[in-house]
Structure 1
Amino acid sequence: MSFNEQFDEHGAWRRQFALRLKLLSEWLKDHELLDAGVEERLRRLETQMRSDKVMVAFVAEFSRGKSELINAIFFAGYRRRIMPASAGRTTMCPTELGYDSDVPPCLRLLPIETRLQPQPLMEWRGAPEKWTRVDLDVNDPSQLAQAFEKVSEVLHVPKEEAAALGFWHEDSPEDNPLVDAEGRVEIPRWRHALINIAHPLLKQGLVILDTPGLNAIGAEPELTVNLIPQAHAAVFILGADTGVTRSDLSIWREHLAPAGDNVDSRLVVLNKIDTLWDQLSTGEQVQAQIERQRVTSAEILGLPPEQVIPVSAQKGLLAKVKGDAELLEASQLPLLELALAEGVMGRRQKILRAAVATGMDELRVEAERAIGVRRRDLAEQTLELRGLRGKNMAVIKHMRSRIEQEQRDFDVSGARIHAVRSVHTRLLREVFTLLGTGTLKRELAELTEALRQPGIKLGVRKAYAATFERLRLGLQKAQASSAEIHSMLTGTFRQLNAEYGFTLQAPREPDLARYERDLDLVERSHTQYMGMGNTFRLAQPEFADRLVRALATRLRVVYESALGELELWNKSAAAQLDAQLRERRRNFTRRIEAIERIQQAASGLDDRIAEIGLQEEALEAMNVKLIDLTDQLIETHEVANEPHESTERHEAVTEPAPLFNIA
């Protein structure tokens, strides 16, 4: 299946899953099994499924055919070019293509002058009035193409203004743009572009990030250290006629070169192979030349050759527009689409399947625990009522007095349970402080000071290392504190179970170690950015300020995710206790009602025992239905992926599958 076809299938599954999840939620609510912990798990799963995005970043130096490749893969259905890709027209600013149903079809453009202000790009996204907006007609390909040409617009400004905006560096003249006869240089007119259209793939969660050349990439730190590293895949485009040039190698080393187990998230496209289609050479000779360029490029970039795919984007687009199957095969575009399908979608599906399996297992355990509490209470009532057979009214009256005393004793114990919860809340608040915005700001203070020093920053790597070491220690301290809370909860729950016959079980302790791995990735992307190519940029205080703001933005996301996991853990523990307290109070009420009915009618005892029998049968049916509904959600995902995945059901995915793996 092509990338487009598999993404269509993935979108259909997500919609079906969301519907079944809603049905499960309604069923749980109808049967009073939807406590705060279960509701939060359902909400998070639904949010993850509905808002799950797959970002593919296309990165290249100018004139490598990047925009043409995007046209060929995603927009050939318009039967013309949509992104500007003709001679003299190319993407000059980072451009994101996605879909938000709350925003009408439009192109939004952020003026380049906003670089002179300190706000990070994330903050500008929340200020729509600062963007230039162009409405789009998705049914008019010509209007779309004309509007999209705005991302290629430029300004001609004096060198001083270009330097202030990050496009001119006196210390590295070889990287500077050409100066015209009037002493002006060409720079992008826009800093960032957001395209919102209801393209079928974009509606299903695909986000395309189209990046400009080396000079523009390096000048926007938030793009380099935030957007590109967080993309699920980065497609790096080279020219088959040029191979790996010096500027290509600079982009690769400073912004894309993978480290550790991240190598599979990079795919290299050797574009424009049609320039090597030499009529004076045989087909075998042409293929041999393409293969040599492929192997050489892979060797220079440090990748296995199978991750470098030769393609002709222009011929692939032409073939799709004209319906020429032979030309499409010659362009090798289907091979690239296959790599994207098996890589990007395969990886996302594994991650989502792991989330579904884990979420459903934990949800089922919590709901089954509530059913178990009700089942145990009914068994106790049955035993209690059977013991009243043949007893006189005095004994029955004494039984009622004993139940009422138990109820009063239980109500008094509420103060003790409240005290336990207060200690738990206090300890948890300390963990939240460790991961709060104030703590993060303090930990970044030293690095911020180092980056804002004027001149060449020789000690900045050391400041980065020290900062991330403190951040890791903070996470480890939070993990230790959560372990202490977990131990306290386990002991408290065990005591409450013994005293009141509860079935409380401390939820699984949060795993904050994975956020340490996130910190490692953030540090790696920033350290990679500290290469000599950016030494002079870092000497500019305003640029360094943008860099530290970009870092703070990304770290805030990591810390908020960790806090979210702690909050879910807290809700699960509190919801269990609330549910069992609520069931116990209901149990007292039901027991007293049963005694009242027995006192009022001689046949009340047997009738009540029979009613409890029916309630027990209903609980058993409820448990079977719960298993069936949760199994359906897990199986829906697995059936949807059966043609592409050979992983066994309920497999715990600890490491992502290789992203690109085609021979």
Structure 2
Amino acid sequence: MVSTSFNEQFDQHGAWRREFALRLKLLSEWMKDHDLLDTAVAERLRRLEGQMRSDKVMVAFVAEFSRGKSELINAIFFAGYKRRIMPASAGRTTMCPTELGYDAEVPPCLRLLPIETRLQPQALMEWRMVPEKWTRVDLDVNNPSQLAQALEKVAEVRHVTRDEARALGFWHDEAPDDNPLVDTNGMVEVPKWRHALINIAHPLLKQGLVILDTPGLNAIGAEPELTVNLIPQAHAVVFILAADTGVTKTDLSIWREHLITEAADTDSRLVVLNKIDTLWDSLSTPAQVQAQIARQRATSADILGLPQEQVIPVSAQKGLVAKVNNDAALLEASCLPVLEEALGRGMMGQRQKILRSAMASGISELRAEAGRVINIRRRDLAEQMLELKGLRGKNTSVIKHMRSRIEQEQSEFDLSGAKIHAVRSVHLKLLREVFHLLGNSTLKAEMKQLNDALRQPGIKLGVKKAYAHTFERLREGLHRAQALNTETQTMLAGSFRQLNAEFGFSLQAPKEPDMSRHLRDLELVERSHSQYMGVSNALKLAQPEFADRLVRALATRLRVIYESALGEVELWNKSAAAQLDAQLRERRRNFGRRLEAIERIQQAASGLDDRIGEIETNETALDQLDAKLLELTSHLVNTPDLETGDAQAEPAFKTA
């Protein structure tokens, strides 16, 4: 197979998403035209389409200083500008975490959050909601020189006193070896900015790619939200080493403390052995150079506990030069295409597999809900057919009696509204406790309790225990929500069976929300926090301001999990209510159609046969409608993956 660059893979992924979203929209319009779009189905379609259109793919680039990280970003994503865009000179370049993405509502710009905001308790996510606190630099995306010059600001530094550096989290008296150098004036160099957001209409960013460029170990450790929120949520992490040094002590610290919690995490990790051109020695044969690179690759893989195919030797600088100069031979020697192939196939394949699974589940439930409406109509037509065929050869008085019976059924059915309302009330009463358990007020109370515990005197050695107790309570809350969901589901199923028996409905309790996925997400968050509380951060955690920032970062991540769980419960509630509404609506229409048929039969002798013929036509139309629904939903589920045409492909990180 011809090697495909990451850019091409991402283009194909974007095209797949757009095609899928368009088909969802067409399905929605078709269902609306055929009166199959109740509130629950409409909500499910809206969520599926929104998830597909707004899906983001984050790639985090992590490395200690001077590993060529920014140059690698330039080579993979910005070579089309025919120059460097991210600052990539010798020494320290990116001094603050930098996110590159695209938001159509915001003009092209660089936004920079001052480092002084670390002195305040707000989490990074909260600062994002206050745009006026960021320094903004407008960008001209058609002027590469202006763009590159503006982005140099992410490398800006400030010189502060030791006391200021200590307050900002860059100086620790208890760990002198990790402190930055002090200049001749007794000042310490720290980043000028805490976080940078770059918004440009780069083709890949417009399609949902988010690039996270992180600074070195000292800066990563000082910003808890980076370690416990942003990096763990990245769909792929590219960890960069220098080929001439291999895995250094600080490289290993970043890997162990911030990137790996257990073996399962390695699947989405790629390690780049960068700067292999430093090993291109004119005194060595090509075979000797390759042998040296192979040794470094094997050693690095062994130290990091990875299979060798996930460690990829590359020269980002030569790869960028080759792309700028259209030098195919140099590009191949740089091995950049091998990395792009691994990154593209692995990440895009995994992301599409996750999306496809979510879409298949949602469409299956949507198909079942719409299918129920069709079955109600089919059953009503069958009942009418039996009723009308039973009138053949009957006299006027029998037909008149039939009309009276239908009117009596209709009257009795109209009085049943109170019973159906009671079912809804009991359902909502049970759900209110679930809404409370997953609500913002409960989460705030938990975070306050954690914060109070961390502020207790002598907490230093008990920080892990305080977090463990918090996560245990959060887990109990999700288990309680699951138990309430099960209890509600049992009640709902029983009520639906009763209504089915009493009124001839075909209600079926929708599948209850499964909290297991949210429990797994909670476990991942706990793991990343527990890892962050290792010995190296014990001193920082003893500082109230730092502990506050960590709790706020935790609250930000948990809010996403709880809002997702709450959304599922709300959709479940809507599905149950929509079924009741649909069956009530169809039953009322059914009474109307039956009375209309009797009236026509009374008025004309031919009315009976005409009406039976109409019902037969309608039954055929319903069969066609059901077949079309199956065809449209199956077509969506079986949309081919990327360029392979394989609807069930399961790519993984692999190298050539």
TM over 0.5: yes
Q: What stretches of structure 2 of length at least 5 have no aligned partner?
A: none
User: Counterpart in 2 of 1:662?
Assistant: 655
8 Å contact kept, 1:258–1:266: no
Taking the aligned partners of 1:462 and 1:117, their CA distance within structure 2 comes to 26
Deviation at 1:643, TM superposition (A): 5.0
Query: Are 2:552 and 1:559 aligned?
Result: no
Output the amino acid matched with 1:661: K
Distance 1:208 1:639 in 2: 23
Distance apart, 1:113 and its partner CA: 1.0
Note the alpha carbon deviations across 1:176-229, whole angstroms, 9 max, x for none. Answer: 111112211111111111111111111111100000111111111111100000
CA distance in 1, matches of 2:646, 2:64: 34
Q: Please state if 1:582 is matched with 2:585.
A: yes
- How do 1:406-421 and structure 2 match up within 5 A? 406-421=409-424
Which has the larger displacement, 307-316 or 444-453? Answer: 444-453
TM-score between the two structures when normalised by the length of structure 1: 0.96
Measured in 1, the distance between the counterparts of 2:457 and 2:207 equals: 46
2:230 and 2:634 map into 1 onto residues whose CA distance is 36
User: Which blocks of at least 5 consecutive residues in structure 1 are unaligned?
Assistant: 648-656
Q: Counterpart of 1:113? A: 116
Instruction: Give 1:441 shift.
Output: 2.7
Partner of 1:150 in structure 2? 153
Query: Is the counterpart of residue 642 in structure 1 residue 635 in structure 2?
Result: no
Q: Deviations over 1:603-627 (max 9, x none)?
A: 2222222222221121111112111
Match of 1:6 in 2: 9
Alignment size in residue pairs: 653
Corresponding residue number in structure 1 for 2:205: 202
8 Å CA contact 1:451, 1:548 repeated in 2: no
Equivalent residue runs for 1:492-641 within 5 Å: 492-636=495-639, 638=640, 640=642
Contact 2:463–2:541, Cα closer than 8 Å, also in 1: no
Post-superposition Cα deviations, 1:123-176, rounded to whole Å, max 9, x if no partner, equal 111111111111111111111101111111111111111111111111111111
Counterpart pick for 1:404 among 402, 407, 415? 407
Match of 1:431 among 430, 434, 455: 434
The answer to whether 1:315 aligns with 2:299 is no
What displacement does 1:89 show?
A: 5.6
Deviations 1:87-131 (A, max 9, x none): 246111110001111111111111111111111111111111111
TM-superposed CA distance for 1:356, in Å, is 2.0
The answer as to 2:342 corresponding to 1:349 is: no
Percent identical pairs in the alignment equals 77
CA contact (8 A) 1:456 1:535 kept: no
Change (3 A) 1:531 1:89: closer
Q: Shift of residue 446 of structure 1? A: 3.8
SS of the equivalent of 1:56 reads: strand
Residue among 190, 193, 207 paired with 2:193: 190
Question: What per-residue deviation string (whole Å, max 9, x for no partner) do you get for residues 523-543 of structure 1?
Answer: 110011011211121121111
Q: Deviations over 1:572-598 (max 9, x none)?
A: 111111101110011111111112222
Q: Please tell me whether the aligned partners of residues 236 and 270 of structure 2 are also in contact (alpha carbons under 8 angstroms).
A: yes
Deviations 1:504-529 (A, max 9, x none): 11111211111111111001100110
Aligned to 1:25: 28
Paired residue type of 1:60:
A
Q: Distance in 2 between matches of 1:70 and 1:336?
A: 12
| Higher alpha-carbon deviation: 376-385 or 69-78 | 376-385
> For 1:246, which of 240, 246, 249 is the aligned residue?
249
Deviation, structure 1 residue 347 = 0.3
User: One-letter code of the match for 1:473?
Assistant: E
**Equivalent position SS for 1:155:** strand
Residue number in structure 2 paired with 1:269: 272
**Equivalent in the alignment of 1:285:** 288
1:44 partner letter: R
Q: Which residue among 370, 390, 393 is the counterpart of 1:387?
A: 390
Matching residue within 302, 305, 316 for 2:305: 302
Output the TM-score relative to the length of structure 2: 0.97
Aligned mates of 1:578, 1:290 — CA distance in 2: 68
- The amino acid that maps onto 2:71 is E
Separation of aligned partners in 2, 1:172 and 1:562: 42
Query: Cα gap change, 1:658/1:627 in structure 2, threshold over 3 Å: closer, same or farther?
Result: closer
Distance apart, 1:443 and its partner CA: 2.9
Residues 639 and 450 from structure 1, CA distance in 2 versus in 1: closer, same or farther, beyond 3 angstroms? closer
SS in 2 for 1:459: helix
Q: RMSD across aligned C-alpha pairs, in angstroms?
A: 1.5
Retained in 2: the 8 A contact 1:254–1:528?
yes
Question: Given the superposition, is the C-alpha separation of residues 208 and 175 from structure 1 closer, same or farther in structure 2, using an over 3 Å criterion?
Answer: same
Give the counterpart letter for 2:264 in structure 1. D
**Which residue of the other structure, out of 120, 127, 130, is the alignment partner of 2:130?**
127
Question: Which stretch of the first structure deviates more once superposed, 595-604 or 113-122?
Answer: 595-604
User: How far apart in 1 are the matches of 2:607 and 2:191?
Assistant: 85
Contact 2:261 2:528 (C-alpha < 8 Å) held by counterparts: no
Cα drift, residue 455 of structure 1? 6.4
- Farther off after superposition, 74-83 or 350-359: 350-359
